[in-house]
Structure formats: structure tokens, C-alpha cells
């Protein structure tokens, strides 16, 4: 069984770096870290610490399906509801993978999330706006339409990242 230990996010300047360890080592990872770089106009010190952990979980959880069976070790404490959310998301992914390869559905997940004792609360965010990730596709357009029912000016966030050998992320439209 693989043990995946998530490390605290590191924020330096305009870069957020996320690291993890895998014990025993696996050939599936050439690197055990990734970084996100932000423009100078974004003040990363205003981003709540708990949100950085969410970014790490959002980016890595799909990897765990390939690394099964595994235990995920977090230094921070998740509520039972948060743990169940991640396990259900993983269950959905596992069922999708199993269906594609003709395996029986609802087989044991093979992923255990072990939370730690460190309390990192989610700060309450005041305001009335809503935001979403926005790609410009049909799902994003529908979600934008729904959000305009909730708020006058929803915040639509799009990110770009080069994906060799594709060049569509480098076009002016994407920028």
C-alpha cells in the first residue's frame, strides 16, 4: 500500500508550491511537487491558508485513483463532511474508471484519507457575489447563466497554461 503524505503549501512572492511524499516510492511520479505562479497584481498574502489546502486537494485527488490502494495523510483536520465529500468524489471517479474497463462497479475504493490534528479554519468571506471557473464551453455558459440569477455580476475566472504540443492556450482569445 502506498502512503501519500501531503505537505503544507509554500507561498513565496507570487508563487504557490505544493509538495507531497509517496512511501514507498513509485515510478508513476517523476516529480512530487508543482507550482502555480500568479501575476504581480494578485496579493497572495490575502488568500486564506485553508484555501491553499483546497487547491492542493483539488489538483491531486484524481492521482490517488491511479495509485490505489493508498492512504492519504494530511496534517490538517478535515470535518467528517469534508472527508466524505472527497471520498464520494473519488468513488465517482473510481466507478467511471471501472466502467470504462469493464470491471464491476462499486468495488472497494482502496483509498483511505487520514486527517491530522492541525486546525485550519475556513474564514468567513463577507459579500454577496458568486464566482466560477470559466472555460467558455457549454457547461461554463450554463453555469454563468445560473449565476446571473443569483448575483448581478458573477466573477468568471479563466486560467491558461501551455499544454505542449497544443498551442490553443497561447492564442489571443485564450489570453
* pLDDT tens, per residue, the chain with 175 residues: 999 999 999 999 999 999 999 999 999 888 999 999 999 988 898 888 998 999 999 899 999 999 999 999 999 999 998 999 899 989 988 988 888 877 777 788 999 999 999 999 877 766 666 777 777 777 777 777 777 766 777 788 877 666 666 665 566 555 5
Cα-based distances in Å from 47 to 53, 60, 148, 149 = 11, 20, 25, 27
Distance CA 169, CA 175 (A): 8
Amino acid at each position: 500500500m502506498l502512503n501519500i503524505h501531503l505537505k503544507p503549501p509554500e507561498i513565496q512572492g507570487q508563487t504557490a508550491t505544493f509538495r507531497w511524499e509517496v512511501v514507498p516510492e513509485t515510478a508513476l511520479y517523476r516529480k512530487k511537487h508543482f507550482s502555480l505562479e500568479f501575476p504581480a497584481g494578485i496579493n497572495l498574502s490575502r488568500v486564506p491558508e485553508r484555501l491553499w489546502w483546497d487547491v492542493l486537494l483539488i489538483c491531486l485527488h484524481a492521482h490517488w485513483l491511479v495509485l490505489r490502494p493508498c492512504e492519504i495523510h494530511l496534517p490538517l483536520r478535515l470535518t467528517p463532511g469534508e472527508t466524505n465529500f472527497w471520498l464520494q468524489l473519488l468513488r465517482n471517479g473510481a466507478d467511471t474508471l471501472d466502467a470504462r474497463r469493464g470491471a464491476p462497479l462499486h468495488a472497494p475504493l482502496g483509498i483511505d484519507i487520514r486527517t491530522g490534528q492541525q486546525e485550519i479554519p475556513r474564514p468567513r468571506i463577507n459579500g454577496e457575489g458568486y464566482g466560477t471557473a470559466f472555460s467558455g464551453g457549454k457547461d461554463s455558459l450554463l453555469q454563468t447563466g445560473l449565476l446571473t440569477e443569483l448575483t448581478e455580476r458573477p466573477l468568471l475566472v479563466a486560467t491558461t497554461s501551455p499544454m505542449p504540443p497544443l498551442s490553443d492556450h497561447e492564442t489571443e482569445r485564450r489570453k
